[in-house]
Amino acid sequence: MTARLEQLVAGRWSPGRADALRSLNPARPASVVAEGGGAAPADVDAAVEAAAAAARGWARTPMHQRGAVLLAAADLVDRNAEAWGLELAAEEGKTRAEGVGEVRRAAQILRYYGNEGDRQAGEIFASPRAGEQILVTRKPIGVIAVITPFNFPIAIPAWKIAPALVYGNTVVWKPASTVPLLAMRLAQALTAAGLPPGVLNLVIGDAECGTAIVGHDGIGAVTFTGSTGVGRRIGAGAAARGVPVQAEMGGKNAALVLDDADLDLALEQVMLGAFRSTGQKCTATSRLIVTDGIAERFLSALADRVHTLAVGDPTDDATEMGPVISGTARQAISAGIAAAVAQGATVLAGGRPYAEGPLAEGYFVAPTVVELASTAADIWRYELFGPVLAVTRAADAEQAFGLANDSEFGLSAAVFTQDLTRALEAVEHLDVGVLHVNSESAGADPHVPFGGAKKSGLGPKEQGAAAREFFTHTTTVYLRGGRPGA
């Protein structure tokens, strides 16, 4: 059954005033998941006005009360995890188990920030003057533009919206137009949990709608997650207008399997890093560096495992990997694989489009491993955002670290070794925002900083206490008593 796609502005749900948008099931594109009017410029204006009108009242609401709304929403999200996880699988294409896991993750994030009122709210410094203390207090920014990608349709929005709200901001949120149903679910949970009208506004539209939001005069800050090109454009535009931006962008994340690794563990984790969520994670493993001593053995076991990966409808429990998000994505990824082969890469597994049957009808890409002739190949540098792993060999750990750092990106990496000295070298040498030692390159907890080094990210990190840096500004208060001699 097709869901009605509606916008949430000033506490009211209604269809947008632009042309109809529809989200499709990427495993069966003939099936429409949600459909309804997209957001027009007038809807964006109304959403920003509603958020501005609600800002003062929400900022003055005690943080514990704001947090209570998030906690109630977390319970609602958890209660609906099975149903919404299935919808997520149908709309985005990750497996049902991953969909349910993502919905539960969203609840966990809401819960983490729901308890923010119990944590430290500012700092006190000693003053060099008698009778004075110096306080650093935190205040909300105002209206935050939240722009989110398709690949975590509820968890990424939760990790932006929850801190924005708990620190007293109001929000205008535009999700990717391919995943409106899950966006509506999160907004429904927050409104049912008691969020006042206008505090969260959901406008669902295309890139043009996103441009209108981030360029709107009423916006106080922009938090964006998505592709590098778009993030940089948003960053440049916002900087020119003096608007703070937090942008989490692309990655080309390496897994390094060193001679002394536990190869069974490394194999299992590299498979998860490269192919879970169909490789559509910013932290997915898209480069693999293996040292010469174990390369033959590891690559042959990897190719065998990839050949047996169960690809199919993500709502079927036997499926290990679903489709990519769209026909355009499938085409771009297939072109990237073809270009790698043309540049001398050898296909170790996959590599060919599905020619017939349901996998050809849906937006499926075969899980693919290519070994490169040279790291000058485009596939070593550019994110394909699909189930494709580019492999190269290194003589030793030091060369492997150098190859891992050979990227303009620095989001995440995974290193597999049983040698503590090597692990410590990896911690020191790998220029990434997130490093996993003996676990896959993806995976992030809500209470610790998340974000990229180098050109993967702009502005303060996300999640944990790091989020406070972005969603608040400080007021440094020089505080003295008013009575003479006091």
Binding footprint of ligand NAD on the chain (CB under 6 A) = 147-151, 156, 174-177, 207, 210-211, 214, 225-227, 230, 233-234, 248-251, 282, 383, 385, 411, 452, 456
Residues 187/157, Cβ–Cβ less than 8 Å: no
| Closer residue to ligand NAD in complex, CB, 67/231 | 231
In DSSP terms, 63 is beta-bridged to none
* Cα separation values, 484 from 131, 398, 422, Å: 10, 66, 63
| Closer residue to ligand NAD in complex, CB, 158/282 | 282
| Closer residue to ligand NAD in complex, CB, 63/207 | 207
Compute the least distance from the CB of residue 214 to ligand NAD, in Å: 5
Q: Is 214 helix (H, G, I), strand (E, B) or coil?
A: helix
Compute the least distance from the CB of residue 222 to ligand NAD, in Å: 9
Of 248, 371, 383, 440, which residue is the catalytic one?
248
| Closer residue to ligand NAD in complex, CB, 72/245 | 245
Write out the DSSP string of 60-79: HS-HHHHHHHHHHHHHHHHH
Compute the least distance from the CB of residue 155 to ligand NAD, in Å: 10
In DSSP terms, 200 is beta-bridged to 171
Q: Is 199 helix (H, G, I), strand (E, B) or coil?
A: coil
Compute the least distance from the CB of residue 188 to ligand NAD, in Å: 19
- Give the Cα separation of 10 and 200 in Å (integer): 8
- Give the Cα separation of 228 and 251 in Å (integer): 9
Residue type, 151: N
User: What angle separates helix 81-92 from helix 96-114, to the nearest 10 degrees?
Assistant: 120
Contacts of 158 (CB under 8 A, 6+ apart): 77, 105, 106, 109, 110, 186
Compute the least distance from the CB of residue 389 to ligand NAD, in Å: 15
CB atoms inside a 10 Å sphere around CB 53: 14
Of 6, 282, 440, 462, which residue is the catalytic one?
282
Residue 196 is given by DSSP the state: P
Residue 442 is given by DSSP the state: -
The helix or strand, by DSSP H or E, that contains position 157, with its residue range, turns out to be helix 155-166
Compute the least distance from the CB of residue 175 to ligand NAD, in Å: 6
| Closer residue to ligand NAD in complex, CB, 207/338 | 207
| Closer residue to ligand NAD in complex, CB, 84/385 | 385
User: Judging by beta carbons within 10 Å of its beta carbon (0-12, 13-18, 19+), is residue 275 exposed, middle or buried?
Assistant: buried
Compute the least distance from the CB of residue 238 to ligand NAD, in Å: 10
Compute the least distance from the CB of residue 164 to ligand NAD, in Å: 16
- Give the Cα separation of 274 and 281 in Å (integer): 9
In DSSP terms, 311 is beta-bridged to 321
Q: Is residue 398 annotated as part of the catalytic site, yes or no? A: no
Q: Dump strand ranges (E) for 236-384.
A: 245-248, 253-257, 285-291, 346-349, 368-371
Task: Bin 223: left if φ > 0, else alpha if -120 < ψ < 50, else beta.
Answer: beta
| Closer residue to ligand NAD in complex, CB, 214/272 | 214
Q: Is residue 209 annotated as part of the catalytic site, yes or no? A: no
| Closer residue to ligand NAD in complex, CB, 142/226 | 226
Active-site positions?
248, 282
